[in-house]
Amino acid sequence: MCIRLIVQRQFSANSTKHVHMRPFSGPKVKWATPGIFHCAYWLPSAFVASYYFVKLQIVSGRSMQPTLNPESSLWRDVGLFDRFAIHSKMDFRRDDIVTLHSPEDRGRVLVKRIIALAGDQVKTLPPYPDPEVVVPQGHAWVEGDEPFHSDDSNRFGPVPLALIESRLIAVVWPPPRFGYLFRGDNDGISKPKRNSVRYRTAMAELDRQRWRNNRVTPDQDCGK
């Protein structure tokens, strides 16, 4: 009888211990860190900026050599492109380097230079069938700086302005090529020093610019 009573008390004590044990809560869950919330907060702003204002674009191919992706560089150029000037201001200028959707494949983005605008008369290059063409209203004539290694207006003709997305502001990569592109009509941008590599490159570009301009008779009624 005493033994039975002792066993019952021991069992009762063990049961009490089990009842008061802390329940199993499982692994602790780590919630998102503040950095993720900050990224999520600024993500819409970054999207709006890249869609309406500026964007970064990798330049592929050799059609814009030597201005972009020169053979002396081991890296492909990354350019900073202005979308606001095109989409909102509709500011199209001769000699601007722009991105545009290919009229032959809308999913393909090209990087070309605006050679002529509406009303301008252009002396074309092969394989374009006509020796000269007048750019129609609402269109532009675009070419690569390496015209014989470029799919451009000499192949598919004038392109609608609606296909143009943005224009190049500066090269941001690789580091040795960081900066604005030299243009003969740039104001406020320092010219390269004489006898420097940049100077010789700029003078070569100036010769190419003159060659392009000699092929275009601007529309006299156009204020651009």
Residues 181 and 97: beta-carbon distance below 8 Å: yes
Active-site choice (50, 63, 89, 196): 63
* Amino acid at position 28, single letter: K
Establish whether 112 is a catalytic residue: yes
Residues 64 and 112: beta-carbon distance below 8 Å: yes
Active-site choice (112, 150, 153, 166): 112
Question: Which H/E stretch holds residue 96?
Answer: none
DSSP 127-148: T-SSSEEEPPTTEEEEE-SSGG
Task: Give the helix ranges, DSSP H, for the chain.
Answer: 2-19, 34-52, 84-87, 153-156, 197-214
Question: At CA 98, angle to CA 94 and CA 104, rounded to 5?
Answer: 110
Measured distance CA(34)–CA(83) in Å, rounded: 32
Establish whether 12 is a catalytic residue: no
The residues that are catalytic are: 63, 112
